[in-house]
Amino acid sequence: MLHYFANPSRFQKIARILWPLFGALSLILFTLGTHAALVTSPPDYQQGETVRIMYVHVPAAWWALALYTIMALAAITAFVWKHTVADLFCKAAAPVGAVLSAICLITGSIWGKPMWGAWWVWDARLTSMLILFFLYVGFIVLRNAFDDEQRGEKASQILLVVGLINIPIIKFSVDWWNTLHQGATIIKKGGPSLDPSMMPALFLMAGGVFFFCGAIILLRILTAITMKKLENTQKSQN
Protein backbone atom coordinates (compact mmCIF):
# COMPACT_ATOMS: atom_id res chain seq x y z
CA MET A 1 0.00 0.00 0.00
CA LEU A 2 2.88 2.34 0.87
CA HIS A 3 4.56 1.84 -2.51
CA TYR A 4 1.23 1.90 -4.35
CA PHE A 5 0.64 5.55 -3.43
CA ALA A 6 4.27 6.50 -4.05
CA ASN A 7 3.43 6.93 -7.73
CA PRO A 8 2.38 10.60 -8.18
CA SER A 9 0.20 9.86 -11.23
CA ARG A 10 -1.67 7.15 -9.36
CA PHE A 11 -2.10 9.43 -6.36
CA GLN A 12 -3.42 12.19 -8.64
CA LYS A 13 -6.30 10.01 -9.83
CA ILE A 14 -7.39 9.29 -6.27
CA ALA A 15 -6.88 12.86 -5.01
CA ARG A 16 -8.99 14.33 -7.84
CA ILE A 17 -11.91 12.24 -6.59
CA LEU A 18 -11.33 12.83 -2.88
CA TRP A 19 -10.80 16.59 -2.63
CA PRO A 20 -14.28 17.63 -3.91
CA LEU A 21 -15.83 15.00 -1.64
CA PHE A 22 -13.85 16.30 1.33
CA GLY A 23 -14.85 19.86 0.46
CA ALA A 24 -18.54 18.98 0.31
CA LEU A 25 -18.38 17.07 3.60
CA SER A 26 -16.60 19.97 5.31
CA LEU A 27 -19.30 22.40 4.11
CA ILE A 28 -22.07 20.15 5.46
CA LEU A 29 -20.34 19.58 8.80
CA PHE A 30 -19.47 23.26 9.24
CA THR A 31 -23.08 24.24 8.53
CA LEU A 32 -24.45 21.75 11.04
CA GLY A 33 -21.68 22.47 13.53
CA THR A 34 -22.12 26.24 13.40
CA HIS A 35 -25.86 25.89 14.02
CA ALA A 36 -25.24 23.51 16.91
CA ALA A 37 -22.52 25.73 18.39
CA LEU A 38 -24.52 28.96 18.23
CA VAL A 39 -28.11 27.73 18.68
CA THR A 40 -28.42 24.21 20.06
CA SER A 41 -25.49 24.13 22.48
CA PRO A 42 -26.18 25.83 25.84
CA PRO A 43 -23.95 28.44 27.50
CA ASP A 44 -21.64 27.21 30.24
CA TYR A 45 -22.81 27.69 33.81
CA GLN A 46 -19.51 29.40 34.72
CA GLN A 47 -18.13 30.79 31.45
CA GLY A 48 -21.43 31.82 29.91
CA GLU A 49 -21.45 32.56 26.18
CA THR A 50 -17.64 32.73 25.97
CA VAL A 51 -17.53 28.93 26.03
CA ARG A 52 -18.59 28.98 22.36
CA ILE A 53 -14.99 29.87 21.47
CA MET A 54 -14.30 26.23 22.31
CA TYR A 55 -15.96 25.07 19.09
CA VAL A 56 -13.20 26.76 17.08
CA HIS A 57 -10.32 26.58 19.55
CA VAL A 58 -10.45 22.89 20.43
CA PRO A 59 -10.80 21.45 16.87
CA ALA A 60 -7.95 23.70 15.71
CA ALA A 61 -5.77 22.42 18.58
CA TRP A 62 -6.67 18.77 17.96
CA TRP A 63 -5.85 18.84 14.27
CA ALA A 64 -2.75 21.02 14.69
CA LEU A 65 -1.29 18.28 16.90
CA ALA A 66 -2.57 15.41 14.78
CA LEU A 67 -1.35 16.95 11.52
CA TYR A 68 2.15 17.51 12.88
CA THR A 69 2.30 13.88 14.03
CA ILE A 70 1.20 12.67 10.58
CA MET A 71 3.75 14.99 8.93
CA ALA A 72 6.54 13.58 11.11
CA LEU A 73 5.57 10.01 10.16
CA ALA A 74 5.42 11.06 6.50
CA ALA A 75 8.87 12.66 6.84
CA ILE A 76 10.28 9.36 8.14
CA THR A 77 8.64 7.56 5.22
CA ALA A 78 10.07 10.06 2.73
CA PHE A 79 13.54 9.98 4.31
CA VAL A 80 13.83 6.18 4.55
CA TRP A 81 11.94 5.00 1.48
CA LYS A 82 12.29 8.10 -0.75
CA HIS A 83 8.50 8.30 -0.92
CA THR A 84 7.78 11.25 -3.24
CA VAL A 85 4.14 11.77 -2.25
CA ALA A 86 4.98 11.60 1.47
CA ASP A 87 7.43 14.47 1.02
CA LEU A 88 4.88 16.44 -1.01
CA PHE A 89 2.37 15.86 1.77
CA CYS A 90 4.71 17.43 4.33
CA LYS A 91 5.27 20.45 2.12
CA ALA A 92 1.53 20.84 1.42
CA ALA A 93 0.41 20.33 5.01
CA ALA A 94 2.87 22.65 6.77
CA PRO A 95 1.05 25.96 5.99
CA VAL A 96 -2.26 24.35 6.98
CA GLY A 97 -0.79 23.24 10.30
CA ALA A 98 0.70 26.68 10.90
CA VAL A 99 -2.71 28.30 10.36
CA LEU A 100 -4.39 25.80 12.70
CA SER A 101 -1.79 26.52 15.38
CA ALA A 102 -2.26 30.27 14.91
CA ILE A 103 -6.05 29.92 15.19
CA CYS A 104 -5.60 27.87 18.36
CA LEU A 105 -3.31 30.49 19.91
CA ILE A 106 -5.46 33.48 18.89
CA THR A 107 -8.77 31.97 20.03
CA GLY A 108 -7.08 30.76 23.20
CA SER A 109 -5.95 34.32 23.95
CA ILE A 110 -9.46 35.65 23.31
CA TRP A 111 -10.88 32.96 25.58
CA GLY A 112 -8.20 33.48 28.21
CA LYS A 113 -8.82 37.21 28.65
CA PRO A 114 -12.21 36.92 30.41
CA MET A 115 -11.24 33.67 32.17
CA TRP A 116 -7.72 34.53 33.39
CA GLY A 117 -7.74 38.32 33.11
CA ALA A 118 -4.82 38.29 30.64
CA TRP A 119 -4.40 37.77 26.90
CA TRP A 120 -1.31 35.63 27.41
CA VAL A 121 0.48 33.82 30.22
CA TRP A 122 3.61 31.69 29.96
CA ASP A 123 1.63 28.60 30.85
CA ALA A 124 3.13 25.20 29.94
CA ARG A 125 0.30 24.35 27.51
CA LEU A 126 0.35 27.77 25.83
CA THR A 127 4.14 27.87 25.56
CA SER A 128 4.41 24.37 24.08
CA MET A 129 1.63 25.23 21.62
CA LEU A 130 3.55 28.34 20.59
CA ILE A 131 6.60 26.13 20.01
CA LEU A 132 4.47 23.95 17.74
CA PHE A 133 3.58 27.03 15.67
CA PHE A 134 7.28 27.89 15.38
CA LEU A 135 8.04 24.29 14.33
CA TYR A 136 5.56 24.60 11.47
CA VAL A 137 7.02 27.96 10.42
CA GLY A 138 10.55 26.60 10.86
CA PHE A 139 9.77 23.71 8.52
CA ILE A 140 8.48 26.10 5.85
CA VAL A 141 11.51 28.39 6.16
CA LEU A 142 14.06 25.56 6.32
CA ARG A 143 12.49 23.85 3.33
CA ASN A 144 13.21 26.90 1.17
CA ALA A 145 16.50 27.97 2.80
CA PHE A 146 18.81 25.95 0.52
CA ASP A 147 19.63 26.31 -3.15
CA ASP A 148 19.90 22.53 -3.26
CA GLU A 149 16.30 21.28 -3.00
CA GLN A 150 17.34 17.88 -1.62
CA ARG A 151 19.27 19.48 1.25
CA GLY A 152 16.20 21.51 2.13
CA GLU A 153 14.03 18.39 2.07
CA LYS A 154 16.34 16.43 4.39
CA ALA A 155 16.88 19.31 6.83
CA SER A 156 13.14 20.01 7.12
CA GLN A 157 12.36 16.30 7.51
CA ILE A 158 14.84 16.03 10.39
CA LEU A 159 13.26 19.08 12.05
CA LEU A 160 9.83 17.44 11.85
CA VAL A 161 11.04 14.24 13.48
CA VAL A 162 12.97 16.05 16.24
CA GLY A 163 9.99 18.33 16.90
CA LEU A 164 7.78 15.30 17.48
CA ILE A 165 8.94 15.33 21.11
CA ASN A 166 6.83 18.47 21.63
CA ILE A 167 3.53 16.65 20.91
CA PRO A 168 3.35 14.64 24.17
CA ILE A 169 4.55 17.74 26.04
CA ILE A 170 1.54 19.68 24.71
CA LYS A 171 -0.82 16.83 25.48
CA PHE A 172 0.35 16.06 29.03
CA SER A 173 1.63 19.49 30.12
CA VAL A 174 -1.54 20.10 32.14
CA ASP A 175 -0.91 16.84 34.02
CA TRP A 176 2.85 17.23 34.52
CA TRP A 177 2.89 20.86 35.68
CA ASN A 178 0.67 23.20 37.65
CA THR A 179 -0.92 25.24 34.86
CA LEU A 180 -3.78 27.68 34.41
CA HIS A 181 -5.01 25.74 31.41
CA GLN A 182 -7.75 23.28 32.22
CA GLY A 183 -7.05 19.56 32.02
CA ALA A 184 -8.46 16.99 29.62
CA THR A 185 -12.24 17.06 29.26
CA ILE A 186 -12.97 14.41 26.61
CA ILE A 187 -10.48 11.55 27.01
CA LYS A 188 -9.88 11.12 30.73
CA LYS A 189 -10.33 8.66 33.53
CA GLY A 190 -13.91 8.51 34.71
CA GLY A 191 -15.30 9.63 31.36
CA PRO A 192 -15.70 13.06 29.73
CA SER A 193 -16.40 16.05 31.97
CA LEU A 194 -17.86 18.05 29.09
CA ASP A 195 -21.65 18.33 29.17
CA PRO A 196 -23.18 15.86 26.66
CA SER A 197 -25.26 18.64 25.10
CA MET A 198 -22.05 20.36 23.98
CA MET A 199 -20.43 17.33 22.35
CA PRO A 200 -22.39 17.24 19.05
CA ALA A 201 -21.32 20.78 18.15
CA LEU A 202 -17.71 20.08 19.12
CA PHE A 203 -17.42 16.90 17.06
CA LEU A 204 -19.27 18.36 14.07
CA MET A 205 -16.83 21.29 14.00
CA ALA A 206 -13.88 18.93 14.45
CA GLY A 207 -15.11 16.86 11.51
CA GLY A 208 -15.52 19.99 9.43
CA VAL A 209 -11.95 21.08 10.17
CA PHE A 210 -10.64 17.61 9.27
CA PHE A 211 -12.30 17.45 5.86
CA PHE A 212 -11.61 21.11 5.05
CA CYS A 213 -7.90 20.70 5.79
CA GLY A 214 -7.88 17.41 3.89
CA ALA A 215 -9.35 19.08 0.81
CA ILE A 216 -6.80 21.92 0.94
CA ILE A 217 -3.85 19.56 1.41
CA LEU A 218 -4.97 17.33 -1.46
CA LEU A 219 -5.34 20.37 -3.72
CA ARG A 220 -1.88 21.60 -2.76
CA ILE A 221 -0.36 18.17 -3.49
CA LEU A 222 -2.12 18.04 -6.86
CA THR A 223 -0.78 21.48 -7.70
CA ALA A 224 2.75 20.49 -6.66
CA ILE A 225 2.64 17.33 -8.80
CA THR A 226 1.40 19.31 -11.81
CA MET A 227 4.13 21.94 -11.36
CA LYS A 228 6.77 19.22 -11.05
CA LYS A 229 5.61 17.61 -14.27
CA LEU A 230 5.73 20.96 -16.07
CA GLU A 231 9.28 21.56 -14.81
CA ASN A 232 10.38 18.10 -16.01
CA THR A 233 8.75 18.72 -19.40
CA GLN A 234 10.54 22.05 -19.78
CA LYS A 235 13.88 20.50 -18.80
CA SER A 236 13.45 17.68 -21.32
CA GLN A 237 12.60 20.16 -24.07
CA ASN A 238 15.66 22.26 -23.30
Is the pLDDT score of 3 beyond 70?
Answer: no
SS3 (DSSP) at 194: coil
The whole-number pLDDT of residue 40 equals 94
Q: How far is CA 211 from the centre of its chain?
A: 11
Percent of the chain exceeding pLDDT 70 equals 95
Instruction: Write down the mean pLDDT value for the chain.
Output: 91
The whole-number pLDDT of residue 195 equals 84
Is the pLDDT score of 234 beyond 90?
Answer: no
Q: What is the CATH number of domain 18-228?
A: 1.20.120
Give me the amino acid identity at 135: L
Is the pLDDT score of 44 beyond 90?
Answer: no
**Greater model confidence, 115 or 20:** 20
Average pLDDT over residues 40-57: 91
Is the pLDDT score of 10 beyond 70?
Answer: yes
Is the pLDDT score of 237 beyond 90?
Answer: no
Is the pLDDT score of 39 beyond 70?
Answer: yes
* Each residue's pLDDT tens digit, 164-204: 999 999 998 887 877 777 776 776 666 777 889 999 999 99
Bridge partners of 48, per DSSP, are 44
Average pLDDT over residues 96-109: 97
Q: Would you list the domain boundaries of the chain?
A: 18-228
Compute the distance between CA of residue 166 and CA of residue 238 in angstroms, rounded to an integer.
Answer: 46
The whole-number pLDDT of residue 147 equals 87
Is the pLDDT score of 1 beyond 80?
Answer: no
Q: Output the DSSP codes for 82-143.
A: --HHHHHHHHHHHHHHHHHHHHHHHHHHHHHHHHHSSS----HHHHHHHHHHHHHHHHHHHH
* Each residue's pLDDT tens digit, 77-102: 999 988 889 999 999 999 999 999 99
Average pLDDT over residues 98-126: 93
